[in-house]
Amino acid sequence: MNLNIFLMDGYGMYVWSAFVFTFLVCLILYFKTRKSLRKLERDFKEEVEKLSVEQIDSLKTGKISKDILNSQTKTK
């Protein structure tokens, strides 16, 4: 195997380190975003469970909240 492909005439160290750094930053951002999304979903679910039947029925008339409430029932 030709090592010049990875060395890139001496610039490989900079190129590959930048690639690894970018990959790690994207991975960290993904996990942080996923963690905060799950926390927000838990908080929303707790708030919905505290609502009365009349309040839930009034929420179901809106398209966005209807989609959210339907997705919550599918995950149970």
Alpha-carbon Rg for the chain, nearest whole angstrom, is: 23
Confidence of residue 57 (pLDDT cuts 50, 70, 90): confident
Per-residue pLDDT reduced to its tens digit, 10-45: 898 999 999 999 999 999 999 999 999 999 999 988
Amino acid at 74: K
Predicted structure pTM score: 0.61
